[in-house]
Chain A
Amino acid sequence: MGLTLEKLDKIVGQEVHLKDIDLHFEPGSRNVILGRTLAGKTSLLRILAGLDRPTRGRLLINGEDYTGVTVRKRSVAMVYQQFINYPSMTVYRNIASPLLLAKLDTAEIDRKVRQAAEMLHIEHLLDRLPAELSGGQQQRTAIARALVKDAQLLLLDEPLVNLDYKLREELRIELQAIFERRESIVVYTTTEPAEALMLGGNIVVMDEGRVLQTGATPDVYHHPGTLKVAEVFSDPPINYLQGAVSGGRASFGEGIQIPLSGHLADLTDGDYMFGLRCNHLFLARRNPDDIELSARVTLSEINGSETFIHIVHGQDGLVVQDEGIHPVKIGSALSVFVNPSRLFVYNGGGELVASPVQGRY
């Protein structure tokens, strides 16, 4: 049951937009598609919606082949990055438009429209025109229009990107609650790891038109299968340290050597990449077994209530995420501390061989 994509390709001219997509979405599931711009997220949504035909492969809904079926005959609702509403209709008519097209009776339409408006807190705006609303209110209207339809498939294409920070947080929390109550398949695309984690459910990590990894969102976050997944699923992207293991010791960075213990114990000799998320680098020692990396500051950026300090340690450029706002002088020397238990280890092929054990902190 649910929605299945089988060996799906989408090729436009010479460009490969999607390649070898095999996915399955359960009814009532929440699915986040995470990927950077041009990863193929929107192309995938368009095929899910039935707006585009795949070049190869099949799309099954409840076991039935829907590959060539037009969007009109499918039960789909979609919310876009831009705030899409009918400009000459009031908010009420906008929300009611899919129901009017479905020819429901007036009382039923009224009930559903008011219910959807209430859910998105726009019941006081029903008589306004979209041009008279703020960006957040316009997007709320568009979401209400999508929800009112009760479609089997609800697609959201980076719906919160064009909103300011505060509104985004607010709507993200509300959406989570709304999705919880729905029986349709929800597919939500985003470029932000934080947003994906917040929405939970299942995740599909995409890059350059391919699916890199799927699974429960927290699992994928804690065990990113390849270097690329770790990069996409960390913001700022995960740090790398080139290194090697030999004789029971791991060495990386500028002459740093540590004994293999914990999740690193089983590593065999060879070259490795050690991955380290920015929030696991600290400016002060927190545990006795922390490793000290001496580095030079190349850039410091303040982001909300955090400071991102870009540093160079030996050959490797790293980013440190530091809580609070701390002006750091560019060019100055700095020591950062890393706990070996937080290291992701990737082999020469970029595949995960060891990841930190959860629940240690």
Chain B
Amino acid sequence: MDKWENNRAWFLVLPVFFIVAFSAIIPLMTVVNYSVQDIFGPGQRVFVGTEWFEEVLGDKRLHDALWRQFLFSGLVLLIEIPLGVVIALLMPKKGWGASASLVILALPLLIPWNVIGTIWIIFTRPDIGLLGAAINTMGIAFDHTASPIQAWITLMFMEVWHWTPLVALLAYAGLQAIPEAYYQAAKIDGASAWSTFKYIQLPKMRGVLTIAVLLRFMDSFLIYAEPFVLTGGGPGNTTTFLSIYLVKIAVGQFDLGPAAAFSLIYFLIVLLFSWLFYQALQNVGKGDVK
């Protein structure tokens, strides 16, 4: 009797199993399949073991792209998280101002990624772009297609403009969830604005900020559309991030084996860092998590 009931439990899990299999496991295994074989055509395949992995791991250009990627994601987090929190703190708590600022904040989030690239290409063009032309008339030579630093600055600007609102919205939601009584208690205790932020607002925002850091890390680590549209990875290779390099190998050179190996490594890196961030944020000064 017990055994029968256990078997029935397995049937109940089956639908989930199929969905996960088709949405995640099977596609992932296809990539694994490519990463360990050299495929010339239908029926012509050679098992190559870890050869592609070794090749990719030894690739100097991949190392460069990886460091570039870490620098980019690190800067993104350093700018977007504090900026988002500051914006959330400055936003009105209620009334029409709250609704208005929410709508304005949400605008960049509604624009498709490739359109963002196009908008900023036009916006920063030195000849006709509003921003580009303005900077150039001020006497600063600005052209993101020529200078790597300026290409990076433009990209960071795009990224910050596009995604800080998400952090701000999350932080704002976290702030709104704090009962008014906490602020009263702090006032009665005679706490300063800084103490209130440090001991009430920040710990209370921990949950949403964890999500914000994870989302922004993963997303910026996978950035593709913006640099692809804006610079195509240039000037030189200075904005060739991991995904751009990956697409160059897979589509540009049609090296599916190394591209698959690369994809898997890429996936593992994102997974590892997301886990590390999650662990770190859960354990630092444990407070109100649940």
Q: Which residues of A contact B (CB under 8 A)?
A: 46, 49, 51, 71-72, 76-78, 80-82, 84, 86-89, 97-98, 101, 129-131
Contacts and interface: CB of A to CB of B under 8 A. Distances in A.
B181 A86 contact: no
B188 A129 contact: no
Given A86-B199, A87-B200, A131-B290, A71 B185 contact: no
Given A81-B181, A82-B179, A82-B181, A87 B288 contact: yes
A87 B188 contact: no
A320 B285 CA distance: 55
B190 interface: yes
A98 B195 CA distance: 12
Contacts of B184: 46, 49, 51, 78, 80
B275 interface: no
Contact of B187 (A71, A97, A129, A130): A71
A84 B191 CA distance: 14
A272 B191 CA distance: 56
Contacts of A78: 184-185, 188
13 contacts: A78-B188, A80-B181, A81-B181, A84-B179, A87-B203, A88-B285, A89-B199, A98-B190, A101-B189, A131-B286, A131-B287, A131-B289, A131-B290
A46 B286 CA distance: 32
Nearest to B204: A87
Nearest to B200: A86
A51 B189 CA distance: 12
Interface string B187-211: 1111100000001101110000000
Contacts of A98: 189-190
- Do most interface residues of chain A lie in helix, strand or loop, or is the interface mixed? mixed
A132 to B, nearest CB: 9
Contacts of B199: 86-89
B267 interface: no
B188 A77 contact: yes
Nearest to A81: B181
A254 B200 CA distance: 62
Interface of B: 179, 181-182, 184-185, 187-191, 199-200, 202-204, 285-290
A131 B289 CA distance: 8
Contacts, number: 58
B68 to A, nearest CB: 36
Q: Which of B190, B285, B286 has the most CB of A within 10 A?
A: B190
Contacts of A84: 179, 181-182, 185
Contacts of A49: 184, 188
Given A80-B184, A87-B200, A129 B189 contact: no
Nearest to A78: B188
Contacts of A130: 287-288
A46 B203 CA distance: 26
A84 B178 CA distance: 10
A46 B188 CA distance: 11
Given A129-B287, A131-B289, A88 B203 contact: yes
Contacts of B179: 82, 84
Given A80-B181, A80-B185, A87 B287 contact: yes
Nearest to A102: B190
Given A87-B200, A88-B287, 17 more contacts: A46-B184, A49-B188, A51-B188, A71-B188, A78-B184, A78-B188, A80-B181, A80-B184, A80-B185, A82-B179, A84-B179, A86-B200, A88-B285, A98-B189, A101-B190, A101-B191, A129-B287
B188 A76 contact: yes
Contacts of B185: 78, 80, 84
Nearest to B284: A88
A59 to B, nearest CB: 16
A76 B181 CA distance: 15
Contacts of A97: 189
Contacts of A88: 199, 202-203, 285-288
Nearest to A97: B189
A80 B189 CA distance: 13
A146 B203 CA distance: 21
A51 B182 CA distance: 13
A86 B184 CA distance: 12
Contacts of A76: 188
Nearest to A155: B188
A131 B189 contact: no
B75 to A, nearest CB: 28
Nearest to A98: B189
Contact of A72 (B190, B203, B286, B287): B190
Nearest to B187: A71
A82 B179 CA distance: 8
A51 B288 contact: no
Q: Which of A84, A88, A97 has the most CB of B within 10 A?
A: A88
